[in-house]
Amino acid sequence: MFDGSQKGSIDGIELGVHAGTIQLGKGRIALVDESKPSLNILEVDHQGKPVIAQSFTIPDPNGNWERAGWITTDVNKRYLAVGSDFDESIEQQVTLVDLQSGGQWTVSLQTNEVVLATTGKPGTEEMHTFLAGDPLRLVVSSGGKLDAYLVSDITSGNPTPTRHSSTALGAYPHGPLMGKDGDAIGSTLNSGVETLRLTRDGFGAPVSAGYPAGVGQSYRPRMAPDGTTFVGAQAGRVEKGTAWNLTPAYLMSGSMTQGSIASVKVGEGIATRAAVSSRFASLVLTKAGGDNLILLDRNSQTGIYDGGKTEIPLEPLSAGPKAGQDSKTAETRFVAATKDGEMIFVSRGGEGAVTQVSTSESKARRTITFPTKLAAGGYLAVINPAETPFDLGGR
């Protein structure tokens, strides 16, 4: 939508919002259609028209597919991997596809039951997926560990590949991180962030950083354009029953190489997932007095987004949360930004509209209407065929 008008649409796709999308370059993104299920390559031409260029069916022989967990690509954007998310099961699967040859392989992997950091009770964690290292490996989080499998072993047709290497991983990973060079991975954990490099034989030493006291886990981080910095939203750790509009909200950023993170308090209320550009990180904070789009400038010396703060008022959602009421049934927003940070797009959940914000003017430029309500904020992605992707994980 270069001018705010609809250029095309594709019907019948149930977007896997947990897996998200991966930018593949040349106007292509990878996404999961949960209704089949299938892993699809959506391509947008220079006129803005979308088409499904490739589609790979995800095997579901027992009919128990629940949803895709996480998707990933390698540094060359040749392979894609999508992991299952079978709730409370140690038996998971990963489907690997080769976009160049059209090959497809599905492997069964066993994970581990652990004592969950969130409840103190036995259970299973979500399985992250990465395509990283040289030689190229499929790496998964398997409950207290990272396990690596050679992609060459999988593409040879082995449905139960041999584990290449393994290393310990901290508790409750819920935000895969991967450097743009494909040689370092990590995750946001329950108490902090852990990253490590891949060696030819396995894994290097982990680099860890804890969250500040009183700040909770960041569940949905994303990588910044420099390929080594990550950003995400956080909420304060508060007493059970604390009102949503009294809960502190933070914008976190950190370095995969330096073992440092910064959590900047942006106010009290409900924060959206973060978006990030080369200039600033952003989120929308819904608070009792209204909604603000918040921008935090990038520190050019450290790469961390902890600089000057700009707040741009937004028109409140018609069905947004109200002070003194439960926020769980209220509508929410989704945020996406251009790589250069010139434009930010903010959805209006339940209203079928997206606000396009000009950051140079610090105001809304236009409202774009959609044929759907964008329930729960919908899902937004900015696709520029001329740009080189920098994030190798689904967001």
Range(s) of the domain holding residue 22: 1-210
The reported pLDDT for the residue numbered 74 is 98
Residues 215-239 have pLDDT tens digits of 999 999 999 999 999 999 999 999 9
Copy the structure tokens of residue 243: 């009102």
Residues 359-383 have pLDDT tens digits of 999 999 999 999 999 999 999 999 9
Task: Give the SS3 label for residue 254.
Answer: strand
Give domain status of residue 237, yes or no: no
Residues 323-364 have pLDDT tens digits of 988 999 999 999 999 999 999 999 999 999 999 999 999 999
For residue 5, the domain's CATH number is: 2.130.10.10
- Residue 17 φ/ψ, nearest 5 degrees: -70, -20
- Cα angle 299, 332, 266 (rounded to 5 degrees) comes to 30
Copy the structure tokens of residue 139: 């790496």
Whole-model pTM? 0.95
Give domain status of residue 268, yes or no: no
On the question of a cis peptide bond just before residue 206, with omega within 30 degrees of 0, the verdict is: no
Query: β-strands 290-297, 309-314: how paired?
Result: antiparallel
Copy the structure tokens of residue 210: 């804890």
Give domain status of residue 166, yes or no: yes
Give domain status of residue 203, yes or no: yes
Of 165, 160, 91, the closest CA to residue 133 belongs to: 165
Residues 172-203 have pLDDT tens digits of 999 999 999 999 999 999 999 999 999 999 99
> What is the number of structural domains in the chain?
1
Q: How far apart are CA 146 and CA 148, in angstroms?
A: 7
Give domain status of residue 360, yes or no: no
Q: How far apart are CA 258 and CA 57, in angstroms?
A: 40
The reported pLDDT for the residue numbered 351 is 97
The reported pLDDT for the residue numbered 28 is 97
Q: How far apart are CA 14 and CA 3, in angstroms?
A: 26
Of 314, 304, 313, 311, the closest CA to residue 276 belongs to: 304
Copy the structure tokens of residue 63: 């009919």
Copy the structure tokens of residue 200: 């030819």
